[in-house]
Chains A and B, each alone.
Chain A
Amino acid sequence: NAGVTQTPKFRVLKTGQSMTLLCAQDMNHEYMYWYRQDPGMGLRLIHYSVGEGTTAKGEVPDGYNVSRLKKQNFLLGLESAAPSQTSVYFCASSPNPAGTSYNEQFFGPGTRLTVL
C-alpha cells in the first residue's frame, strides 16, 4: 500500500494564479482532510470530507475549494493564490471515526507551496 500520496511536492505560484493539489489514498478510508502547516501554529484544518461526494469547511476555509468525486481522491483548489497561502499543505485520511472509538489520521508527505 502506498498509503496517502500528494502531488505535487513543491510548487511556486504568482499572485492570482490558480492550482489544484491532489491527494490520493489506497486504504479505503471514508474521511479525508486538508490541513495547512505554518510555523508556530501547528496544523489548521482547511476542509474535510466524510465520504464520496461530501465536503465541509474546517477552521480556515477561505480562499480554498475542495472536491471528493471519488472515494480515494480529495482535491484542494486555490482559485486566485495570495501570498498568505504560502504554506505546507498536508492531506490526511482516516476510517470512519463515528462511534465509541476513534481512529488516528494517516498523513501524506506534504506539498510546499510558495506564492510570490
Chain B
Amino acid sequence: AQSVAQPEDQVNVAEGNPLTVKCTYSVSGNPYLFWYVQYPNRGLQFLLKYITGDNLVKGSYGFEAEFNKSQTSFHLKKPSALVSDSALYFCAVRDMSSSGSARQLTFGSGTQLTVLP
C-alpha cells in the first residue's frame, strides 16, 4: 500500500521569507512524487514532479522540491514567498512498480499555506 503524510495542516510565513511545506511518503517500490496547488474554489494545478534523476526538482512559480530517499521525504520549497502563494498544497505519490488499481495517485491531506504581507 502507498501513503502520503503532510504533517502540518497550516504553515504561516512572512512575505519574502523562505517557505517549506513538508511531505513524507511510503511505498513498497520506487515512488513517483507530485506537488499540486489549489486556489480557493478552483481545481488542483500541477506544480512539479519527481520521476527519476536529479533529486532537486524545479517547477512552476519558482517552487522546487527535494527528493530524499533515505528520509522518504519530498518537501516543497521556495526561496522567497509571495502573498499570492497563499493556497492549499497537496503532495501525491504513486508506487512505480504497482499495477492495477494500485497505479493510482494517493494524495496527502493538504497543507494550507498563508503568506503574510
Chain A interfacial positions (CB closer than 8 Å to B): 4, 33, 40-45, 48, 56-58, 90, 92, 97, 101-102, 104-110
Contacts and interface: CB of A to CB of B under 8 A. Distances in A.
Tell me which of A33, A56, A107 has the highest count of chain B C-beta atoms within 10 A of its own C-beta: A107
A110 B40 CA distance: 11
Contacts of B101: 48, 56-58
Tell me which of A43, A44, A105 has the highest count of chain B C-beta atoms within 10 A of its own C-beta: A43
Interface residues of B, number: 24
Contacts of B96: 102
Interface string B14-34: 000000000000000000101
Contacts, number: 54
Nearest to A94: B105
Nearest to B103: A97
Interface of B: 4, 9, 32, 34, 36, 41-46, 49, 51, 90, 94, 96, 101, 103-105, 107-110
A104 B108 CA distance: 16
A45 B106 CA distance: 8
Contact of A107 (B44, B103, B109): B44
Contacts of A107: 36, 43-45
A98 B45 CA distance: 22
Given A42-B90, A43-B90, A105 B105 contact: yes
B110 A106 contact: no
Given A33-B104, A42-B109, A102 B49 contact: yes
A60 B92 CA distance: 17
